[in-house]
Chain A
C-alpha cells in the first residue's frame, strides 16, 4: 500500500509539472493565436479604411448620385430590360461607391492644400493637350480649282486641348479646342446625357457629325497624316461636318448578336464649304445607321449608312457681267445632299493584341449639290488597309479617287503608303508618301512627316 502510494506520489510529482507546463504552453499558444487574429483584424480594418479614403478622394471629384426615383417613375420610362425587378433606380450610394476612373486621376494626384480650394481642385476636369506637327517635302503644285491644298514645309498643324469631366449624375461634358498656328477653333464642345430613359443617349453642343467614319475622327486618331481625298472634296475636309446642334442615338433591337445603332442629328447648318445657313430655317440634318457584328473573337465587321442634307455653301466668283462684283454659284434654296456607305473590317488576335492587328476601311460618298447652272453629282471613295507589324510599327496604304463637289467632271486620284512608329502609347511618328494625280493632269509626289504627342489624361475615343 505504501509502495503504491509512493509510486503514485512519484508519478504525480512527475506528471503535474508536465501538465502544468503543457497548460501554460497551451495558454501561451492561445494568447499568440488570439494576438495574431487581433493583428489580422486590425490589418483588415486598415485596408478597408484605405479603400474608403481612396473612394472618398474619388467621390470629391464625382457629383452626388441622383435621388431614388419614385417607384412609378421607373416603370413609366423603363426599357423592357430596365423593367426587371432587380433593376433598381439609382439610389444614394455610400461615398465608397462613387469612384471615377477618369477623374480619379486628378483626384488621386492633385496636391490638396486644404479647405474649400482643395475640393474645388478635385473637381477640375481631366485636361489634355495633343500636339500635331507636320512636315512636308517634295513637289506639290497649287491647283486653283482643287480642294486639295499642299501642306507647308513645316507646320505646328494643331494643338488640341481637351477638357473632359462628369458634369452631374445625368451627364458628362467634353470640350476639344483646336489651336492652329493662326487661330483658335472650338472643334467640339458638347454635353452628353447618359441617363435618359429608354436607352437614348443625347448630345447637345458643337460636335463632329456622325456622317461616315473619317468625319467623326479627330486628327490624332487618323492612321494617315492627311485626310482622304473624298473627305476633302465632298465632306468639308479637316473641319468636315462639324456644327452646333443636337444629336440623339439609340441601340436598336437586332437578332443574332448584331449591334445596330441609329443616330439622328440636327445642326444649325454651317459646316465648312459643305453647308451654309442664311436663315434660322436652314438647319442641316444627319442620319447614320451603324451595324456591327463580331465575326469571330478576333475579327469584326462594321458597316454604316449615312445621309446628310443642308443648304449648299456658296462659292463666290467674279461676275462675268459686272466687273468687280462677285456672284454666288448657289441660290437661296439650293440644297446639298450627301449619301455615304462605310465598311470597316478589323482583325486583332486577343492573345497578341498588342503586337498584331489589321484594319481595312472604305467609304463611298455621293454628293448632290444644287448650284448654278446645274446640279453637280459627284462621287468619291477611298480604300485603306493598315497592318501592325509589331508592338511599335504599323504599315498601311490608301487609294483615293474623288470628283470635286463643285465640278463633277473633275476627278482627283491618288495613293499613299504610310509607316508609323509608336515610341509609346503617348506619341507617334509617321511618314507618308503621297502621290496625287489632279484632274487637271498635274502630278504631285510628296513626303509627309508627322509627330503626334499627348500630354495629360485624354479620354479614350469611341470605337
Chain B
C-alpha cells in the first residue's frame, strides 16, 4: 500500500509539475504579442524593439519581389493568430494583402482596427506624384515610393512608431519597448556614422537601378540615380529604352548598375558590357541573403558591395 501511495505521490508530483510547467510556459507564451509583418524589414525592426515580448513573422521573404507575393492560404494561418499586422503601405501590398486580411477571419487586424499598423505614416516618403497619375507612367504608386525603409533615419522612425504601437497594445511592457528602442537608436546612430563615413568618398556618384527602389537610400547616402533599367515602373526592359540608357550612362559616365536579387541579370549585364559598368546585386530587404538577418546587416551588406563597386570603377 505504501508503495502505491509512494507511486501515487510521485505520480501526483509529476502531474502537478507538468501542469505547472504547462501553465507557466503558457503564461509566458501568452505574454508575447503575435506580430505578422508584410515584409522582412518590418519584421526586423519589430524584432529590434519588441525583443522577447513578441513573436514576429513576415509574409514575404527578403529575396522576393514584395509587389508580387502570392496570397497563399498558408499565410491565413499566420494572420488569424496575429495581434498586430504591420504593413509597408503606400499600395506596395495592394495586389495580395487585402484578400488575405478579409479572409483571415481575424477582426483584430482588419483595416482600421487596433492591430493594423501602416508603417509609412512614420517615414519620410519620396517620389509623391504631384500631377496627373495614369498607368501610362507604369505601375506607379500614387501615394509615394514604398521602398522607404532603405534610409536608416526612416528605420529609426519606423522602429519608434512600432515601439509606440507595441506599448499601446501591451501597456505593461511599455517601458521595455521604449528601452529597446533607445538601445536600437543608440546602435543605429553609431552604425549610421560608420556607414556615412564609408559612403562619403562616393557622395554624388551616379548609379542606375533596375527598379525605382532606392530613392531614400540614394538621398541618405548622396547617390545620384540617373536612370532605370525598367522603362517605367513594373514594365520590363525594352530594346529602345535599353539603347537610350546605354547612351545616357556613357554621357553621364555612370559606372554602376544596381539590381534587386529577383530581377533577371540579362539586360543589366548587356548594358554593363557596353558601358564598362559594374552590376551590383544589392539587397533591398533583410533576408535577401541567408547571412543578412538584421536591419544593420542589410546596410552593412549593401554598403560593402557598393563601396567595392565604386572603388573598382573609379
Contact = CB atoms under 8 A, between A and B. Distances in A.
Interface of A: 44, 47-48, 50-52, 54-55, 58, 62-66, 81-82, 84-91, 93, 96-102, 104-105, 108-109, 166, 169-170, 172, 192, 194-197, 199-201, 249-251, 257, 259, 261, 290, 292-294, 297, 300, 302, 346, 348, 350-355, 391-392, 424-426, 457, 459-463
Contacts of B213: none
B114 A93 contact: yes
12 contacts: A44-B157, A86-B31, A86-B32, A88-B115, A90-B115, A99-B118, A101-B97, A104-B91, A200-B105, A251-B105, A350-B63, A354-B65
A361 to B, nearest CB: 15
Interface residues of B, number: 70
Enumerate the 10 nearest inter-chain pairs by beta-carbon distance, A residue then B residue, closest first.
Answer: A195-B107, A99-B118, A51-B121, A199-B105, A259-B73, A90-B113, A292-B73, A463-B71, A350-B64, A108-B143
Interface stretch (B75-83, B200-208, B242-250, B290-298): B75-83
B98 A50 contact: no
B120 interface: yes
A420 B134 CA distance: 25
Given A86-B170, A460-B96, A351 B33 contact: no
Given A294-B72, A460-B95, A90 B124 contact: no
Interface of B: 30-34, 61, 63-65, 68, 70-74, 76-77, 80-81, 83, 87, 89-91, 93-99, 101-103, 105-108, 110-118, 120-125, 133, 135, 138-139, 142-143, 157, 165, 169-170, 234-236, 261-264
A90 B30 contact: no
Dominant SS at the B interface?
A: loop
B226 to A, nearest CB: 24
Most buried by A among B76, B91, B118: B118
B142 A109 contact: yes
B133 A109 contact: yes
Given A201-B105, A426-B135, A294 B74 contact: yes
Contacts of A290: 73
Nearest to A94: B168
A87 B74 contact: no
Contacts of A460: 71, 94-96, 98-99
A424 B107 contact: no
Interface centre among B64, B73, B169 (most CB of A within 10 A): B73
Contacts of A172: 102
